[in-house]
């Protein structure tokens, strides 16, 4: 299944990667991106394996990093709406 990203997701990823580059090493930022990318690919392959969480949206937690992303499943694609830190307010990004 195809993956479509909300335009703000790109700036969120960029901010997260800049943070990891600043506080650690560029390799940590790369590791974050790899985990996010691999997770979205798995989600696109098996969106039905994720339980509904917030008003029709589904949430996937990254394993190594304290982030999750919300997506909705449409007939021909999954739409990633937001990637957010676990400490964010629970409704952050749900209105996209």
Confidence of residue 23 (pLDDT cuts 50, 70, 90): very high
Strand, helix or coil at 75? coil
2-85 CATH: 3.30.2310.20
Give the separation between CA 14 and CA 35, rounded to whole angstroms. 14
pLDDT of residue 51: 87
Q: What Rg do the C-alpha atoms of the chain give, in angstroms?
A: 13
Give the separation between CA 13 and CA 78, rounded to whole angstroms. 18
Give the separation between CA 68 and CA 49, rounded to whole angstroms. 16
Give the Cβ contact number of residue 3 at 10 Å. Answer: 16
Structure tokens at 31: 């590791």
Chain length of the chain: 96
Question: pTM to 2 decimals?
Answer: 0.90
pLDDT of residue 17: 97
pLDDT tens profile 35-45:
999 999 999 99
């Amino acid at each position: 299944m195809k993956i479509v990203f909300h335009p703000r997701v790109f700036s969120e990823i960029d901010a997260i990667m800049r943070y990891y580059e600043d506080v650690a090493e560029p390799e940590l930022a790369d590791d974050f991106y790899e985990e996010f990318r691999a997770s979205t690919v798995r989600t696109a392959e098996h969106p039905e394996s994720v339980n509904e969480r917030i008003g029709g949206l589904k949430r996937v937690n990254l394993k190594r990093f304290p982030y999750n992303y919300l997506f909705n499943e449409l007939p021909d694609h999954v739409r990633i709406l937001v990637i957010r830190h676990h400490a964010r307010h629970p409704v952050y990004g749900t209105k996209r």
